[in-house]
Amino acid sequence: MYYKSKDEITKKNVFIQETKRQLALMSSQEKDKWIIMQAQLLNETKQQDFLKSLSREKLIIDMPSNEIIDEFCKQVSEGKICLEYETHYYEFDGSGRYMDDWEVWYNDPNQAMYFIDNIFKGCHDLNELEEYEQTNKILGQICRLEFCIVEAEDSEDFSIEEEPFTIDTAYEHGMLSTNKTEVVYDWLYAFYMVHKDLKAGELAQQLIELLMLPLCNVILPSNVIDSIENKEVHNEMILLLETFIEIDTKEVQEKYSKKYSREGYYLEKKLDREMNLIEDLKRMKKGKQNIDNQISILNSCWKQIQELIQWLRYEPYIDDQLEIDEIWNICEALVRHLKNNSESWDVRKRVLQDIVDNDGYDYYGCIDPMTDLLEVLCNTGEEYLDKADIMMKNRSREYQKQAAKIYYEYGHDEEYVLYLKRNISKSADVYLELIEYYDSHNNTEEAIKVANEALDKCRDSKITEVFIFLIKEAYKAGNKTEATKLYRRAKQRKNVLISELSKAFKDLK
């Protein structure tokens, strides 16, 4: 699901077949000539990589070689490549608001994260080439790295957390640009393709160990494993998880049920993850992969968003928090997923309700991705009408406006008109919309009645359009005297756009 859609795969296959046909028509000399032409166009910095690619020493031109990657990992593990912790106290933030707090960030003097991003992109390309052995080896090294942290020269303090600084931590701090979900998918898919012939129990154990890593919490088994080929592996994973869940549940109840602690919090998170995994595996076992598997994806992703929101609620200042970037990334992945996959309406509706009830999480800087997600949650007319009902109950005028539009589009005119009448104010916008509705439904009498009411109550420039409507209707009725009176009356009103009014009146003569 995190790669190409079926249409994209089909187009790619057609392109490859066309390329093969073209190559078959070329002589060896023509092929050599074409390769030399490409080499001549290369920048000097790419030339050695190009030669290594020709000899298959290096499959992806823009990716570091295996030797360089090995050396990088060695230097990280030996503490020769480190990240710098820097913090400063600020009384006021960049906008001049009173802050009275410390800001913390991590510097990357060796550009390690840029290097890792290039590796992640290269591994994605390796999977495209079905070079799973290489991908699994490289990502197995990189994704398990732990960086040493040193104090930056200008830092005003040095107080780091006990937990190691991992790739997952780097994502939390926005230091990596590649999509976390796609990186994890690349790794797990390559791992599975390399080890799928292992004994079921051994493979099940290793898969669970990977899936339980904090970095991998964006992926479920059904994203990676084909349910038909691996029934035995599924059963083994379920048995193992049932054991883990029993042990962890007992520990939570005995040690942490009545008190909060850091250890208890992380154990409960571990238990939640185990429950997500086993629920997903059981759905796969029942043969409902196509729908229920995707339900669990939406549920899992939304649960992650809720956890991130919970963290944000404890932040004194919302701006520039790393959790916001993570929410944006998850929403973008969900939008792509929902455009190409079916989902249970119960789950989609629950997410929709949550977004609307929380005003699109605008307070947390997430209104744009939530709006995009709202756009893809409905598929049928009934679902859109349910969406309208939910939005209309919200206090947000924008949501109510969207709901009214949906009602109108799906033929629920009564609700649409009721919304317009309920929201008529001193602005002519809603009056004009109501006038247009009655006029388009051949109820000219009611349209004129609303227009005359607008003349008495509205004071903005939109009133010009109301006057023009009434003047045109007077002309249609053959009452030129009334049309002239309306024109003179309009010219005496403030905020009427005289040029537009005069042009419309002139065109009628």
pLDDT in tens, 333-347: 999 888 877 778 888
pLDDT band at 292 (very low <50, low <70, confident <90, very high): very low
488 in the same domain as 400? no
At residue 371, the pLDDT reads 95
Closest CA to 298 of 267, 339, 266: 339
Residue 446 pairs in a beta bridge with none
- Measured between alpha carbons, how far is 479 from 469 in angstroms, rounded to an integer? 14
Same domain membership, residue 182 and residue 85? yes
Above 90 in pLDDT, residue 460? no
pLDDT given at position 291: 47
pLDDT at 57 over 80: no
Q: Last residue of a domain, which of 399, 422, 445?
A: 422
Task: Note whether 136 and 155 are same-domain residues.
Answer: yes
pLDDT at 394: 85
Q: Same structural domain for residues 177 and 78?
A: yes
Structural domain range at position 481: 424-509
pLDDT tens profile 346-374: 889 989 999 998 899 988 889 999 999 99
Q: Residue 159, by phi and psi: left (phi above 0), alpha (psi -120 to 50) or beta?
A: beta
Question: Mean pLDDT over all residues of the chain?
Answer: 85
**Domain boundary, last residue among 422, 455, 489:** 422
Does the pTM surpass 0.95? The reply is no
- For the domain that residue 496 is a member of, what is the CATH number? 1.25.40.10
Q: Which residues contact 420 (CB under 8 A, 6 or more apart)?
A: 404, 430, 433, 434, 437
- 189 in the same domain as 66: yes
pLDDT band, very low/low/confident/very high, at 316 (cuts 50, 70, 90): low
Token match 């709006």: residue?
Answer: 371
Residue 441 lies in a domain: yes
Residue ending a domain, choose from 389, 422, 455:
422
State the pLDDT at residue 509: 67
pLDDT for the residue 2: 44
Confidence of residue 289 (pLDDT cuts 50, 70, 90): very low
- pLDDT above 90 for 101: no
Write out pLDDT tens, residues 221-238: 877 765 445 678 888 999
Verify that 435 and 417 share a domain, yes or no. no
> Does residue 290 sit within a domain?
no
User: Rounded to the nearest 10 degrees, what angle do helices 200-211 and 231-251 cross at?
Assistant: 50
Tokens of 130: 């079905």
463 lies in some domain: yes
Q: Are residues 391 and 482 in the same domain?
A: no
Residues 115 and 180 in one domain: yes
- Segment 385-403, tens digit of pLDDT: 999 999 998 878 899 999 9
pLDDT at residue 502 above 90? no
Same-domain check for residues 101 and 177 = yes
CA distance linking residue 317 with residue 311, whole number of Å: 12
**pLDDT band at residue 7, thresholds of 50, 70 and 90?**
low
pLDDT tens by residue, 181-198: 889 999 999 999 999 889
Condensed to tens digits (0 to 9), the pLDDT of residues 241-251 reads 999 999 988 88
260 assigned to some structural domain? no
Helical H segments across 41-81, by residue range? 47-54, 66-77
Task: Note whether residue 385 is domain-resident.
Answer: yes
> What's the domain count of the chain?
3
pLDDT at 228 (0 to 100) = 42
For residues 66 and 190, state if they share a domain: yes
Q: Which of 52-56, 284-288, 470-474 has the highest mean pLDDT?
A: 470-474
Residue 86 lies in a domain: yes
Let me know if residue 243 belongs to a domain: no
Q: Does one domain contain both 436 and 507?
A: yes
Tokens of 24: 């078959």
Bigger pLDDT: 199 or 48? 199
Between 79 and 395, name the one with better pLDDT: 79
Per residue in 408-420, pLDDT tens? 988 888 888 888 8
For residues 441 and 509, state if they share a domain: yes
Residue type, 308: L
Does residue 48 fall inside a structural domain?
no
